[in-house]
Every structure is written in C-alpha cells, then in structure tokens.
C-alpha cells in the first residue's frame, strides 16, 4: 500500500479539551474548524496557507497522540496486512479502521479516495512547524515496533544522530515525519509525542511559554515542553 497523507491527531480528555485546543491553535498559528462527530469530538487545525495535517479529538479516557494514515487501497485490505505484520484491529467505524501496533500504539486507516485527502503542506517561511510524531518505545519492544512500521509504510529507516533514535524516510509530500525513540525502560506501553521543527528554538520556546506552556528540560538538540493540560512535546533543532 501507499500512504497518501498522514494526520497527527491530538487526543485530549473532554474536560481539558478546550484549554488544549486554544493552546495548540495558537502555537501552530491555525484556526479550529467546525466540529464533527456524534459528540462534536473532532476538529481540524486549519493553516493560513496550504492544507491541514493536524486534527484534534475529545476523548472520554486516555488521551495522547495517534496517527491517521490515508491509504490508496481499501482500508480493510491494509488492515489485513497490518494484522499479518502484528497489529490488532480495535474498532471499525464506517470507513475508519482503528488499530494498534504490536507495542500498542494507536493508529487509524482511512481511504484516500473517499476522504479527498489534501496534498500540499506549506513549510516555506514558517518559524516553526509541528511536523513530527516521535513514537516512544521501551527497549525490549523497539526492534519489533520499528520493523512493523517500516514494513507497513514501505519507508526506509535512517539512523539518527544519537543511537536511541531512528527515523523513517517519508516520501515527498507527506506532512508528518516518523521518529522512533528507544527508551531506557525495557517494558511498558508504546506511546508518542509531538515534535516541532524550529528555525530559532529559543524564539519558539519563548512564544510557547507565552501561550501557556512550561519548559521541562533543555538538551543539546531539543527542548522538552509541557502544554497547559500536561501534554509533553518537544521543540527540536531542525529547519521547518
């Protein structure tokens, strides 16, 4: 299969959702679309230029980050292949199939033909850009999780500057980069967080703090942040 577009989804407990969305549309310089879903639980962050690639969801429990993959084959076919590779099907809602990876990371499969997926992400001139989902994997699960995503997407892996990081080389036009971080603990759930590419990390940090975030820790290549409702994310030293 071919991934034609990839969405980063920010899932937030309903009681925190309004504060979360206010923060995220501010720091991404977007507008929140009209709401969708039975409970009005879905919305899209609409950029000033180009097409959207970030969505938000109100959830009853849990929260965090997940991915939506718009694929060029029927999602049922892709779901069968993903299952063969070690994924688990969780739910089937109309044309959306909810799955978890071998390590338990949530992703959804949707039909590119049915959704009329956008194809243009504007990066030129942006001071920073929410452009990466980092999948955080306990060390004992790392090899299997990385192998699953490489085989599912067909994207080649690339070793990072630090040994605990590996990325998958996204094709031209895909808006979300996938990075995998090997954690120190051997076991536990596979989770994920959002990363921004920053032209000037200090300036982005200042803007995010002004919007309500807190600095958690500083590192050579990234800054760990916490949004107003407790979501951890990073500002990274990469050009948008």
Lookup result for tokens 């979360």:
20
**Closest C-alpha to 48, from 31, 26, 24:** 31
State residue 3's pLDDT score: 92
Rounded CA separation 90/68 (Å): 14
**Closest C-alpha to 126, from 228, 60, 215, 53:** 53
Rounded CA separation 145/180 (Å): 9
Q: Please state, rounded to an integer, the average pLDDT across all residues of the chain.
A: 93
Rounded CA separation 54/201 (Å): 21
State residue 115's pLDDT score: 59
State residue 114's pLDDT score: 61
Rounded CA separation 56/7 (Å): 10
96-100 and 214-218: which strand pairing?
unpaired
Tokens at 49, concatenated: 């230029």
Rounded CA separation 36/45 (Å): 13
Tokens at 80, concatenated: 């069968």
Residues 117-154: pLDDT tens digits?
557 888 999 999 999 999 999 999 999 999 999 999 99
Rounded CA separation 225/234 (Å): 6
Residues 49-90: pLDDT tens digits?
999 999 999 998 888 999 999 998 889 999 999 999 999 999
Sheet containing strand 3-13, edge to edge, reads 30-32, 42-47, 54-59, 3-13, 64-71, 106-111, 96-100, 88-93
Residues 101-114: pLDDT tens digits?
999 999 999 988 66
Average pLDDT score over residue span 89-97: 90
CA atoms within 13 A on the CB side of 155: 20
Sign of CA dihedral 209, 191, 91, 9: positive
State residue 161's pLDDT score: 82
Rg (CA), the chain: 17
State residue 116's pLDDT score: 60
State residue 118's pLDDT score: 59
Asked whether 185 and 141 are in contact (CB, 8 A), the reply is no
Indicate the pTM of the whole model: 0.94
Rounded CA separation 144/166 (Å): 13
State residue 130's pLDDT score: 97
State residue 1's pLDDT score: 73
Residues 148-204: pLDDT tens digits?
999 999 999 999 888 999 999 999 989 999 999 999 999 999 999 999 999 999 999
- CA-CA-CA-CA torsion for 57, 98, 234, 32, nearest 10 degrees? -30
């Amino acid at each position: 299969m071919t991934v034609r577009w990839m969405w980063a989804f920010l899932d937030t407990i309903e009681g925190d959702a309004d504060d979360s969305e206010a923060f995220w549309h501010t720091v991404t310089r977007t507008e929140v679309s009209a709401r969708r879903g039975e409970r009005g639980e879905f919305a899209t962050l609409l950029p000033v230029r180009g097409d959207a690639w970030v969505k938000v969801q109100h959830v009853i429990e849990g929260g965090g980050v997940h991915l939506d993959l718009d694929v060029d084959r029927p999602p049922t076919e892709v779901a069968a292949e993903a299952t063969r590779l070690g994924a688990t099907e969780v739910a089937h809602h109309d044309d959306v199939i909810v799955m978890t990876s071998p390590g338990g990371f949530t992703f959804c499969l949707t039909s590119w033909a049915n959704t009329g997926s956008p194809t243009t992400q504007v990066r030129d001139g942006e001071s920073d850009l929410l452009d990466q989902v980092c999948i955080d994997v306990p060390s004992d699960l790392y090899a299997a999780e990385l192998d699953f995503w490489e085989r599912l997407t067909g994207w080649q892996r690339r070793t990072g500057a630090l040994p605990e990081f590996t990325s998958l080389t996204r094709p031209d036009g895909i808006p979300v980069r996938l990075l995998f971080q090997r954690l120190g603990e051997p076991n536990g759930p596979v989770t994920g967080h959002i990363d921004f590419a920053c032209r000037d990390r200090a300036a982005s940090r200042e803007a995010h703090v002004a919007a309500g975030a807190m600095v958690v820790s500083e590192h050579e290549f990234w800054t760990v942040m916490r949004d107003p409702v407790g979501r951890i994310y990073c500002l990274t030293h990469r050009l948008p």
